[in-house]
Structure 1
Amino acid sequence: MTATLLTNIGELTTNVAADGDPCGTLHDAALLMEDGRVAWVGPASEAGDVSSRFARSTTGGVTSVVERGAQRRDETPLEVVDVGGRAVIPGFVDSHTHLVFGGDRADEFESRMAGIPYVAGGIRRTVAATRAASDDELRARLLGFVAELHAQGTTTFEVKTGYDLTVEGEARLARLAREVTDEVTFLGAHVVPAEYADDRDGYVDLVTGPMLEAVKPYAKWFDVFCETGAFTPAETHRILLAGIGADLLPRLHANQLGYGEGVAIGVEYGVWSVDHCTYLSDDDVAALAGSDTVATLLPGVEFSTKHPYPSARRLIDAGVTVALASDCNPGTSFTSSMPLMIALAVREMGMTPGEAVWAATAGGARALNRTDVGQLGVGARADLVVLDAPTRVHLAYRPGVPLVRDVFKDGAPV
């Protein structure tokens, strides 16, 4: 058993709503982590009472604390960490990433910045590069991205397949993704691959049959890209029915490139999250507000494609639950930085800093049907970030500055 007491926290974001504050903000706070969970949260002035459960001895300047009365075989050492008035927030929950792929599409980004508009289809370039990559090459790159995520404060993340689009290949991507996260999403319905260009029905049959069966042992979720240039509403219905019938949980890419039926379909099927939501009608907003479906916004995509940013303010004011995610992928948002998503959401999408931090933590947890992460109430996983700043506002106030000082996952430093 291990325990760590963080004390002298200038501002603690718990996301346990209190007194009308959804961020559950505490000042001059302390937090105790034991066995990977949050064991106590309260004022720093009471931290001494918590640590008094433990007996201290100091040797060579290092404080060793052991729980009083404990038998030697189950002694609980306590490490006391003074964070020096810094802010502490829950670890980021990135509910939408595409991290298993080969190749690079920097030339597409350069073209878009020169004024050539984004259209769906570049995915097929990544498919070709991914099919050509070995397991070891894909795994090494994936682990590199995981290290990036951790360094920037992300402690929970989802990973999608979708860059092979063959039965064996999609199973391979899901298997590799499962090595780093339980939140694996089957996205065989990403685009129709070139070899099925003249047989779309045949590809949908493949996705809903042999491919789904091959990927199912590794996946928790399934997803469909319901969009012009990807999958039609009718095809989306077929795929959603098959995925739900296979006991996978549904998600949806929708309304990224223009107005369409995707959001309405997602709400109809009770998907956990509709992602992108760039182009929304009033009926779409009303449908989301009347449902439990999360609207996951991906501002890195708008940054990279020059599409207009969606209005998070419009959604929040209507009562929609909003999450923020990176959509880290090689074509339209090649960033793993949740702090950047927060800064963009505040600057371009009408969110307050508190709303953006909540959306990047608790909102992402809701999009993944998780209650144990994204918040720091007693019993939650001890996944948290110490910022080298006095408040969470600095994530938007100082964009591009590496403010993540320390990251704890399951109570241990990352």
Structure 2
Amino acid sequence: MSRRSTLLTNIGSLVTNDPAVDGSPLGLLTDAAVVVEGDRVAWVGAARSAPEGTDEAVDAGGRAVVPGFVDSHAHLVFAGDRTAEFNARMSGRAYTAGGIRTTVAATRAATDAELDANVARFVREALRQGTTVLECKSGYGLTVEDEARALRVAGRHTDEVTYLGAHVVAPEYADDPAGYVDLVTGPMLDACAPHARWVDVFCERGAFDGDQARAVLAAGAARGLVPRVHANQLTEGPGVQLAVELGAASADHCTHLGDADVTALASSDTVATLLPGAEFSTRAVYPDARRLLDAGATVALSTDCNPGSSFTTSVPFCIAVAVREMGMTPDEALWAATAGGAAALRRTDVGRVAVGARADLALLDAPSHVHLAYRPGVPLVSAVWRAGVREV
């Protein structure tokens, strides 16, 4: 059976992320067209040269098309929310209701069906805003069974599933963090490894120190999971150096970096994934993207969607904040949210519009991708194709 084909034509500005197009990282084409066959991009070029005979034609009306966003850091398997915590924080009051433990309790009490429905809702919400690839972590169960079921739920919605049993020390082990690390690297890993691609750890004061994080990542790697690290979010610490040393795909947050951290990232394949939603929602200092980019580091932008510190699924919002607050240009921010996210997931089939790539496309109700930062908060994504299927 032949694969259905679609011609998307009259594209005013097409971001391909293929430098061969124009010598720039975005690989911009004007007056462009794209042919999709099945789930892949089959042709890219000038609209006037587009092949004929496709099953369907879509007129972009001179608007911009960008690759689907690749959100490489999200915590979607949870129940409840933390409205009271956010409200207190934004009102200048101390909040003492337990933070992440509130979410852990709600998540443990939720049914599989409730958790699945929540993830499905967030995935749909993200898709409407142009996100076609989502990574999803566990980390709000913190028992063997609750972490394993979180990964099973996540796996129904994405292939990019991350084991984050080492999110914080479980409340039952508050007085025995070493015992919890033993659980995370032993029985919990045994139950979770078959359901995950990645292993992650929150390497931070109040969570896991460098030695504990190393043990978690090494144990995961021994089971075939690829490391990622929550690194240097709240303070300078060993997270970034550990990520680079162990060949982690990404070091995420990267808010507080020393010169050696920047140099290490710039000289490695570890992607610095920046999560401006977290700083926005906690009124914290933003990471210095300009410093990382000027040093030559690969930078990704992601939402960090979670109920405590960044309850957003909007990559366009993160792009706008990164441009306004983190020293990124609109071009750099878009690249980071597409090709950068793909690099953080070690994928070459997404985050770009090129022959053979997966057909993930977002049509903007705007003449240029710059409008993502120029018109913050405006729902500019008017159509989305994921793996060749129009979803929005």
- 2: CA distance, partners of 1:121 / 1:244: 32
Structure 2 partner of 1:30: 33
Alignment of 1:235-274 (within 5 A): 235-274=212-251
Counterpart amino acid of 2:47?
A
2:179 aligned counterpart, secondary structure = helix
SS of structure 1 residue aligned to 2:273: strand
Q: Say whether residues 1:94 and 2:71 are aligned partners.
A: yes
CA distance in structure 2 between the partners assigned to 1:151 and 1:356 by the alignment: 19
CA distance in 1, matches of 2:95, 2:8: 46
For 2:122, the aligned partner's letter is F
Give secondary structure in 1 for the equivalent of 2:165: strand
Matched, 1:128 2:102: no
Offset of residue 231 of structure 1: 0.5
Whether contact under 8 Å (2:204, 2:234) holds in the other structure is: yes
Partner in structure 2 of residue 340 of structure 1 = 317
Give the structure 1 partner of residue 48 of structure 2. 45
Amino acid at match of 2:18: V
State the distance in 1 between where 2:322 and 2:272 align. Answer: 14
Q: Report matched runs for 1:242-391 at 5 Å.
A: 242-391=219-368
**Cα drift, residue 10 of structure 1:** 0.3
Query: How big is the shift at 1:115?
Result: 2.8
Q: Is 1:10–1:29's contact at 8 Å kept on the other side of the alignment?
A: yes
Q: Is the partner of 2:217 in helix, strand or coil?
A: helix
Larger radius of gyration: 1
Distance 1:243 1:211 in 2: 11
Moved more, 117-126 or 340-349: 117-126
* Structure 1 outlier segments of 4+, above 4 Å: 116-121
Q: State the match for 2:207 in structure 1.
A: 230
Amino acid of the structure 2 residue aligned with 1:13: V
- Residue segments in structure 2 that go unaligned for 5+ positions in a row: none
- Whole-Å Cα distance in 2 between the matches of residues 7 and 213 of structure 1? 50
Matched, 1:160 2:137: yes
CA contact (8 A) 2:136 2:161 kept: yes
- 1:79 corresponds to 2:27: no
CA distance in 1, matches of 2:233, 2:314: 20
Alignment of 1:191-230 (within 5 A): 191-230=168-207
Change (3 A) 1:117 1:309: farther
2:370 aligned partner, one-letter code: V
| Cα deviation code 1:56-75 (max 9, x no counterpart) | xxxxxxxxxxxxxxxxxxxx
Distance 2:256 2:90 in 1: 21
Aligned length: 388
1:9 to 1, 8, 11: 11
SS class of match (1:345): helix
* 1:118 CA displacement: 8.6
Amino acid at match of 1:25: L
Paired amino acid for 2:222: G
Conservation of the 8 A alpha-carbon contact between 1:161 and 1:170: yes
TM-score normalized by structure 2?
Answer: 0.97
Q: Residues 9 and 87 of structure 1 are in contact (CA less than 8 Å); yes or no, is this contact kept in structure 2?
A: yes
Counterpart code for 2:12 = G
Between the aligned partners of 1:370 and 1:31, the Cα distance in structure 2 is: 21
| 1:412 Cα offset (Å) | 1.2
> Which amino acid in the other structure matches residue 30 of structure 2?
H
Q: Percent identity?
A: 65
Greater Cα offset, 378-387 or 14-23: 14-23
Question: Deviation at 1:46?
Answer: 0.6
Amino acid at match of 1:36: D
Please give the alpha-carbon distance, in whole angstroms, between the structure 2 residues aligned to 1:347 and 1:324.
Answer: 14
CA contact (8 A) 2:88 2:95 kept: no
Partner of 1:74: none
Partners of 1:117 and 1:305 within 8 A in 2: no
- Give the drift of 1:321: 0.1
Classify the secondary structure of the residue corresponding to 2:9.
Answer: strand
Distance 1:113 1:256 in 2: 20
| TM-score normalised by length of structure 1 | 0.92
CA offset at residue 272 of structure 1? 0.4
Structure 1 residues without counterparts, runs of 5 or longer:
55-76
1:121–1:359: structure 2 CA closer, same or farther, 3 Å change rule? farther
Give the Cα separation in 2 of the matches to 1:117 and 1:373: 42
> Counterpart of 1:72?
none
Contact 2:193 2:220 in 1 (8 A): no
Look up the SS of the partner of 1:158 in the other structure: strand
Work out the CA distance in 2 between the residues paired with 1:287 and 1:26: 34
Render the CA deviation track for 1:52-103: whole Å, top value 9, x for unaligned.
xx2xxxxxxxxxxxxxxxxxxxxxx510111100000000000000001011
Report if the CA contact (8 A) 1:346-1:396 is conserved. yes
* 199 and 380 in structure 1: CA distance in 2 versus 1, 3 angstrom threshold: same
**Inter-partner Cα distance in structure 2 for 1:239 and 1:133:** 27
Matched residues in 1 for 2:155 and 2:18: separation?
A: 30
Q: CA deviation at 1:186?
A: 0.2
One-letter code aligned to 2:17: N
1: CA distance between counterparts of 2:137 and 2:7?
A: 36
When residues 371 and 142 of structure 1 are mapped into structure 2, their CA distance, relative to the original with a 3 A threshold, is same
Note closer, same or farther for the CA distance 1:14–1:118 as it changes in structure 2 (3 Å cut). farther
